[in-house]
Structure 1
Amino acid sequence: MGVVQDIPLLQTTCDIWDKIQNFQAREDDILIASFPKAGSMWVQEIMDLILLNGDIKKSMRAPCFLKVPFIDLNAAPLPSVEAANGMESPRIIKTHLPLQLIPPSFWEKNVKVIYVARNAKDSMVSYFYFQKMNKMLPDPGTWNEYFSKFLAGNVPWGSWFDHVIGWWRAKDKHQILFVFYEDMIEDPKREIRKISQFLGKELTEEVLDIIQHHTSFDIMKENPMANLSTLPSFVIDQSISPFIRKGKVGDWRNHFLVVQNALFDEEYMKKMKGVGLNFRNEL
């Protein structure tokens, strides 16, 4: 692990930090931002289909990680800055960076941003399993060890609290749409419509239904273009845990000890007081 402005990042990301900061955004780019394991892969598939007017065949042209370059990741075979530079417009670009580390050109070009937010408890559980199976990330250790690391912000891309608060406070200064994972689970079609309108696309009910079906949990779990099954096991080892794992709200209840839940709630109240950002831990 490395560190940039007190944020823990993968060393491979730190190695190309100048390239990331000097990345040149375009006015018609769309940036999808989130803390890890908030549902950004789900939303990027939705965004791709919105831009394609629901054309499933075109959406299956390549795996999700090739269609949407992840600019703050620097690990073969996943494309990063260079891949994004060579793409035709309009580009969908992905980042897990906190607001203060976003390349300045995104703000200079007034790029539209969709920020995907998920409640902290489910985010922690999902990230724990992701770190176990993703060989690019540090081993998370035991659940008890990871609980302490996550709460302290000692995980790749830093503190969940600082991340969501930073983006939330910027949402009225830039073109930022906040999308909540829990809202997506509750009423996916409503949220797909909201995203399409934000992107300036008015889609028919029929097309919205097609997008909802194709990006449903069961379809995406079996879709090789979305489930990362095209990546070798030395990168993503899905024998440890599937990439598309449960897609539930409230799975944290199966992992948090009573004392951990009390500790977490105390920290949450401290950090989130007065922010005006409300999450649902269950539906």
Structure 2
Amino acid sequence: MNQVLVQPKAYPTNLLQKDWSKRKLTHRCGQAFVDKVHDMEVRDDDVWIVTLPKCGTTWMQELLWLVMNDFDFEAARSEHLEVRTPYLEFNYEIHNDLDHAFAPVEALKSPRLIKSHMPLPLLPQQLWMKKPKLIYVYRNPKDYIVSRYYQYRSLGYFMSTTLAEFALKCIEEDRAAPSKDFEHVTEFYELRNEPWIYYTSFERMKLNLHQVIEDICKFLNKTISEAQIEQMLQHLSFEQMKKNPKLNHHWEFEQVRAKLKSEYEDNNFMRRGKAGGYKDELSADIIAKLEDMIQRNLDHYDLSLNQLLLLDDKAAL
């Protein structure tokens, strides 16, 4: 997954006052794509979901799409999530066609639900100015690192790499604080009280999905009945999502595999859906090394992981 240094045309100085000259930014799509994103037309009624990969994005996407589309479960089950709510970077990653990079997004009727993994300063400038609704979801890094490993192998990457080796590679890449992942999350965390941003975590969704659904409805000015909440809780349960082919990214995976033409491991996208699942898969030594890396970054920002996850200080991580 090669990354190249990029330079945004402008920074969101109207949102955050910081020394942006120290912000080193990379992206695998390159400078021309970053420039195109910067100039992208944002609609006032857009809804954006921004996350680091494997942080509960799909779970929140489906929740949001249903709230925005009057809880039309039949329509949700009849079309792939990636078609209903496109991943902004995906079309260019597959086709490398800059002129049509945003075709799936532009084809959507308003209000659009758009997903991106890009950091704040690489998102469209109009997003910072118009401030449409934006949802950010974070997750314990120890869990998302494990989850990323299995997703990469499902696409054909890291096939000769063990999970322990992958975790050590992540630790080495993030040796300097702040890491790019922590820059990504802390910028949105700092904006969490802005009225146009809803910030939450995978762990909060696991603890009380009912409350998150209610919060999202309030955030998007939508009403929901208790019966609809029960339907949502059933539809969004891990058991139901795992067996729902429209939510396991088959549409995307088939295109990536066809492009790479390499061996891959056929892991289900919805693999375990646990908070703290890393404890079952990583050795105590690797966990300790990951915790050291995480703590270096947290110390840089004078934050705790529980703060970033919106958890009580007594919560187990």
Whether these two folds match at TM > 0.5 is yes
Match of 2:303 in 1: 275
1:29 to 35, 39, 46: 46
Partner amino acid, structure 1, of 2:201: F
Q: How has the CA–CA distance of structure 1 residues 145 and 66 changed in structure 2, closer, same or farther, with 3 Å as cutoff?
A: same
Counterpart Cα distance in 1 of 2:226 and 2:41: 36
User: Are 2:252 and 1:251 aligned?
Assistant: no
Name the SS for the 2:228 alignment partner. helix
Aligned match for 1:147, one of 158, 162, 167: 167
Question: Which residue does 2:205 correspond to in 1?
Answer: 184
The answer (yes or no) to whether the contact 2:34–2:122 under 8 Å persists in 1 is no
Structure 2 partner of 1:106:
127
Q: Could you tell me how far apart the structure 2 residues matched to 1:111 and 1:264 are?
A: 35
Go from structure 1 to structure 2 and tell me whether the alpha carbon gap of 1:13 and 1:228 turns closer, same or farther (over 3 Å shift): farther
The one-letter code matched in structure 2 to 1:26 is R
Query: Which residue of 184, 195, 198 corresponds with 2:219?
Result: 198
Aligned length: 278
Structure 1 pair 174/139, CA: closer, same or farther in 2 (3 Å)? farther
In the TM superposition, what are the counterparts of 1:201-220 in structure 2 within 5 Å? 201-220=222-241
- The alpha-carbon distance between structure 1 residues 92 and 145, as it changes in their structure 2 partners (threshold 3 A), is same
- Taking a change above 3 Å as real, the CA distance of residues 228 and 259 of structure 1, as seen in their structure-2 partners, is same
Match of 2:21 in 1: none
* 1:88 shift after superposition: 1.0
**TM-score (norm. length: structure 1):** 0.88
Cα distance per residue 1:10-32 (max 9 Å; x no partner): 2x465523222211111100000
- For residues 244 and 107 of structure 1, do their structure 2 counterparts lie closer, same or farther at Cα, with a shift above 3 Å needed? same
- In 1, the alpha carbon distance for the partners of 2:140 and 2:184 equals 12
**Alignment partner of 1:60: what SS?**
helix
Paired AA for residue 280 in structure 2: N
Q: Partner amino acid for 2:233?
A: Q
Higher alpha-carbon Rg: 2
CA distances 1:56-102 after superposition (whole Å, capped 9, x unpaired)? 11223420111111112323489952211221100000010111211
CA displacement at 1:144 relative to structure 2: 3.0
Match of 2:12 in 1: none
- Secondary structure, in 3 states, of the residue corresponding to 1:43? helix
| Contact 1:29/1:93 (<8 A) preserved | yes
Residue identity (%)? 26
Q: CA deviation at 1:140?
A: 8.1
Judge which range, 168-177 or 191-200, deviates more: 168-177
Structure 2: gaps of 5 or more residues: 8-23, 258-262
Q: Give the distance between the partners of 2:164 and 2:53, measured in 1 at CA.
A: 19
Q: Give the 3-state SS of the residue equivalent to 1:197 in structure 2.
A: helix
Look up the equivalent residue of 2:57 and give its one-letter code.
S
CA distance in 1, matches of 2:38, 2:160: 28
Letter in 2 for 1:32: I
| Map of 1:17 onto structure 2 | 34
The 8 Å contact of residues 153 and 159 in structure 1, kept in 2 or not, is answered as no
- Aligned partner letter, 1:229: H
> What 5-or-longer segments of structure 1 have no aligned partner?
none
- Larger CA deviation: 30-39 vs 105-114: 105-114
- Between the aligned partners of 1:225 and 1:176, the Cα distance in structure 2 is 27
Deviation at 1:213, TM superposition (A): 1.0
